[in-house]
Amino acid sequence: MSAGDKLFGRLLNRHPPVPQALPEPPSVHGIGLQMHLDAEGRVLHLTGPLRHSLAQQTPTARAPHLLDFLLPHCSLVVEGVPADWLGQNLDLDFYSLSGQPLHLRGWIQPQADTWLLQLLDIGDLLVDRRQSRLREQCQLLAVQIGEQLRLCSLSRLPDVLADQLQSLAQRFHVPCIALALLDEDEQGWQIHQHYAGLDAPRLWQNAQRLGTGLDSLNGSAPQALNPIEHPRLQSTFGNAEGFAVPYHDAQGVAAWLLCGCYAVQQRAPDVGERDWLQFAAALASPLLERLREHRHHLQLERLESLQALLGTGWWEMFSDTGQVQLAPSLASALNLVDTRLPLHDWLDTVHPADREELRSRLQALQDESIPLLLCVRLYRPEAAATPIWYRLQGQALGVGKNRRLVGFMLDISDIKNQEQQAATAHARLDNLIASSPAVIYVQQYVEGALQPTFYSDSLLPLLGWTLADCAGAALVDKVHPEDRDRYFERSRLLLREGSVRVRYRLRDHRGDYHWILDEAKLLRDDLGLPVEAVGLWLDVTEVTLATEQIKQSEERYRILVEDSPAMICRYRPDLTLTFGNRPLATYLECAPEHLPGVNLGSWMSAQQRESFLQRLSQLSPEFPVSTAEINLQLPGREHAWWVWSDRGVFDAHGQLLEIQAVGRDNTEVRRSQQQLTQSAKMATLGEMATGLAHEINQPLNVMRMAIVNVLKRLSIGDVQVDYLTDKLNRIDTQVQRAARVVDHMRVFGRRSEIEQHPFNPAQAIEGTLSLLAEGMRGKGVDLRISETAFEVQVRGHVDQLEQVLINLMVNARDALLGKRESNPEFKPWIAVYAERDEQSVRLWVEDNGGGIDERLLERIFEPFFTTKPVGIGTGLGLSVSYGIVENMGGKLSVRNSTEGARFCIELPVVPADQITR
């Protein structure tokens, strides 16, 4: 029963059983410590050598109690009186004079009226036990660290290593801890992983290079480092104390466990060198094993990838079994299923032309150890046009039973094919050089001069000379006397600038001279000194003579262009002139040299310029020519009209580069046409005079009657306001009617505008009917007007289209009235209607006059042609009408219907995006 149990028993008022008598332990005198106690536990006197080491906690005058010598935690062990301690082993800690606790173990013995407490020193035993327990804990920790690093995945290895360093640092209170490995070049050490406490300095960083300072340490055992004693390690530990633990493998020291800012003797005095070596091994051994395994795996992957990319791989031949082992990548490249196969199956993959030679070389390798080096083709009937070439190398390794025949196969198809292509190209080049007019030559640089050392075979057919004929000064004698200065300058320029291109004349063996284009380049050595010149001669006699003829032709062309009365120019797609001849410059009142850079569109209105550019955009390599009449607004002059022809110049991709144009002045012709149109218009007004008089007399008669009625009412005094208002409104309506007729006559009679504008053709129909409708109906002609009001735009002059309609309707009216004179029962009518589609609008004028003689249909639009009697009609109406419609981009046609003539005016519709709002 322990002292604690006894104390707990007394508190519960229970008494322990009487202890059985135990055999008295032997009394040991002269060793340890003997304490004689009274019945209450007071110390009577001390004996034994250990009594000199005791220190009393509270010295008293009377006999001290046993508790005065014990540390406080021992009070429970000796609770009660000595009689209670009988039969128990007492482990007690005493105060000592050295300050360190004195660990003693003893037992109590009865002696007459006193008690003897016999004690022995067990301090060494406790130290050994503590160190043993610590070693077990360190060993267990090292095993756990190693297991964690071995069992984790490769991707988590850095994190797990950091966790283990942290646990080790926290277990032994290390501020900074790191594991250093050799760098990739194994030239020095670098930090692989580190951990630092929250308040610890940052001595290291991952991947930090440490150099070779650690090599100065003795790598056989852990070492406490003082920066003063190890100055080479100041870059590693700074000015702080450190502790370095090596890890050894077969190659020597492979890693270091570094503890920074750590005094190991004070912080971990009980942890031995063996324990630190275990920690270093637990960290470094699995880490290095995993890293080496990973590097080996990467090398294998790279090797496999490289073999697959190159179509290569190793092979090994076994003499005893007659079989061959192939690398998997090589077997796959050869379309073989098995990687181990008989020798003859392997040879069957080789082209028959190379098979026997390979068999012989393999036999020589097997019998005489002669190294194998051979290029063979694979046997692939489906790819006979493009053979697959392999390079085989092999050698014998070892002797006797350990002798092995190994080698590799490398795909060299690209190299072989390139060699064949190069040989073919070289042969073609030699043949081309020998048969071409070009002569390749080499001139060696000797003592400051260039001496010919090589001419290609084409020299003989070109000039009839050989290399011996052109050696030394003989070549200069063959240069034309007028070109010798140029030839000497060519040599100086070549030596000075390194390249030259010049023309001169050389005499052939018949005495005739050839124009030669000489192109050469100087080759220099590493010091920049001339070595040789490589160049070629090209016979350009025909080209030179043709160039001279072209120059003469250009001069004649220039004279022809400048003296031509037509205006000739070139301009870019944006209408910027690049050339203009003198007639164009004279017309534009500027010098010819001032024309380049001037924009042709600056003399056009916006509408004309847009139309001009649109016409150019329609040019193509298939249809490069376009002709049109353009209008220019020259400053200080009236409008000018040119007949203009453009021809586009395109590049290889069909892109318009330039326009070549020829034009002539058409202003006088245009003005004559305008005057003719105006004359025809005035003649039309004259012919309509009777109808117009009727149009004006009709409202005048209405007004006169209204005025007479008003005057009668006024004379009899019977005038009402409503009556007067009605009459005045009627007079106002007739006045407006007459005014509209007069205004329309005035508009119709004046000259047309210069520019064409978009308008609705329904306006022309309305204007025509306003001038002719009443007159037609007054003469008994029935007008059949269909719905013509639709939204469509054509480009031209509304008054000119109105003139065309008037001409057609007046001609129809005259024909109808003439027919009625012969047939009073005849009911004449004229129909006007319109129709349209997406591209054009058509206006129809039809009558029932019986039609036009088929023989006259082809001539009806000719100028001065008329079917009316002499003195009636000018014969210009239909001709002018035809020209008006044609200028608007349309067409005027006629054909006979079942009852009469049917005229059609067809005009193109202006797209909506070209209508200016």
Instruction: For residue range 166-212, list pLDDT tens digits in order.
Output: 888 888 888 899 998 888 777 788 888 889 888 888 888 888 888 88
Q: In this predicted model, which residue has the larger pLDDT, 459 or 60? A: 459
Half-sphere exposure of 430 (CA within 13 A, CB side): 5
- pLDDT > 70 fraction of the chain, expressed in percent and rounded: 82
CA distance 898 to 885: 26
CA distance 787 to 766: 11
For the CA atoms of 147, 150, 153, 156, what is the dihedral angle to 10 degrees? Answer: 70
CATH topology of domain 128-297: Beta-Lactamase (3.30.450)
Count of CB atoms situated within 10 Å of the CB of 901: 22
Instruction: For residue range 342-370, list pLDDT tens digits in order.
Output: 988 888 888 888 889 989 998 898 888 89
- What average pLDDT score do residues 845-872 get? 71
Q: ∠510-515-517 over CA atoms, to 5°? A: 130
- What average pLDDT score do residues 651-675 get? 77
What are the structure tokens assigned to 579, written together? Answer: 């050339």
Tell whether the model's pLDDT for residue 40 goes beyond 80.
Answer: yes
Q: What is the pLDDT of residue 521?
A: 92
Tell whether the model's pLDDT for residue 114 goes beyond 50.
Answer: yes
Instruction: For residue range 756-788, list pLDDT tens digits in order.
Output: 778 888 888 887 887 777 777 878 888 888 776
CA distance 182 to 212: 10
Q: Which residues pair with 843 in a beta bridge?
A: 834, 905
Instruction: For residue range 399-423, list pLDDT tens digits in order.
Output: 877 788 888 888 888 888 888 888 8
Tell whether the model's pLDDT for residue 12 goes beyond 50.
Answer: no
Classify the phi-psi angles of 166: left when phi > 0, otherwise alpha if psi is within -120 to 50, otherwise beta: alpha
What's the residue count for the chain? 917
3-state secondary structure of 338: coil
> Within its chain, how far is the Cα of 353 from the centroid?
49
- CATH architecture of the domain covering 3-121: 2-Layer Sandwich (3.30)
Tell whether the model's pLDDT for residue 527 goes beyond 60.
Answer: yes
Q: What is the pLDDT of residue 600?
A: 84
CATH class for the region spanning 435-539: alpha beta
Q: What is the pLDDT of residue 277?
A: 86
CA distance 879 to 482: 72
- What average pLDDT score do residues 795-810 get? 82
Q: What is the pLDDT of residue 417?
A: 82
Q: Which residues pair with 243 in a beta bridge?
A: 224, 259
Q: What is the pLDDT of residue 502?
A: 92
Average pLDDT, the chain: 79
Q: ∠650-653-654 over CA atoms, to 5°? A: 40
Asked if residues 249 and 292 have their Cβ atoms less than 8 Å apart, the reply is no
Which stretch of 92-101, 148-157, 864-873 has the lowest confidence by average pLDDT? 864-873
Q: What is the pLDDT of residue 904?
A: 92
CA distance 411 to 323: 22
Tokens 């009235």 map to which residue? 817
Q: Which CATH number fits domain 311-416: 1.10.3720.10, 3.30.450.20, 3.90.400.10, 3.40.50.1820?
A: 3.30.450.20
Instruction: For residue range 431-455, list pLDDT tens digits in order.
Output: 766 666 688 889 888 888 888 888 8
Written in H, E and C, the secondary structure of 822-886 is HCCCCCCEEEEEEEECCCEEEEEEEECCCCCCCCCCCCCCCCCCCCCCCCCCCCCHHHHHHHHHH
Q: What is the DSSP letter of 471?
A: S
Instruction: For residue range 490-524, list pLDDT tens digits in order.
Output: 888 988 898 999 999 999 888 889 898 999 999 99
Tell whether the model's pLDDT for residue 741 goes beyond 50.
Answer: yes
Q: In this predicted model, which residue has the larger pLDDT, 864 or 624? A: 624
Asked if residues 642 and 664 have their Cβ atoms less than 8 Å apart, the reply is yes
What are the structure tokens assigned to 305, written together? Answer: 């990838």
Residue 332 to residues 110, 311, 354, Cα–Cα distance (Å): 96, 9, 21
Which stretch of 298-312, 367-381, 639-653, 859-873 has the lowest confidence by average pLDDT? 859-873
Burial state string for 863-878 with b = 16 or more CB within 10 A and e = fewer than 16: eeebeeeeeebbebbb
Work out the pLDDT band at 13, boundaries 50, 70, 90: very low
Work out the pLDDT band at 733, boundaries 50, 70, 90: low
Tell whether the model's pLDDT for residue 737 goes beyond 50.
Answer: yes
- Please determine whether the domains at 128-297 and 435-539 fall in the same fold group of CATH: yes
Count of CB atoms situated within 10 Å of the CB of 581: 22
- CATH architecture of the domain covering 564-665: 2-Layer Sandwich (3.30)
- pLDDT > 90 fraction of the chain, expressed in percent and rounded: 4
Q: What is the pLDDT of residue 501?
A: 92
CA distance 904 to 892: 6
User: Mean pLDDT highest for which of 27-41, 705-719, 789-803?
Assistant: 789-803
Tell whether the model's pLDDT for residue 142 goes beyond 70.
Answer: yes
Which residues, 6 or more positions from 645, have their beta carbon under 8 angstroms from its beta carbon? 625, 626, 627, 661, 662, 663
Pick from 610, 665, 673, 624: which is nearest to 643 by CA? 665
Tell whether the model's pLDDT for residue 877 goes beyond 80.
Answer: no
- CATH code of the domain made up of 674-913: 3.30.565.10
Asked if residues 210 and 190 have their Cβ atoms less than 8 Å apart, the reply is yes
Tell whether the model's pLDDT for residue 14 goes beyond 80.
Answer: no
The ranges assigned to domains in the chain are: 3-121, 128-297, 311-416, 435-539, 564-665, 674-913
Asked if residues 149 and 164 have their Cβ atoms less than 8 Å apart, the reply is yes
Which residues, 6 or more positions from 4, have their beta carbon under 8 angstroms from its beta carbon? 76, 79
Pick from 514, 493, 511, 513: which is nearest to 502 by CA? 493
Q: In this predicted model, which residue has the larger pLDDT, 69 or 12? A: 69
Q: What is the pLDDT of residue 742?
A: 60
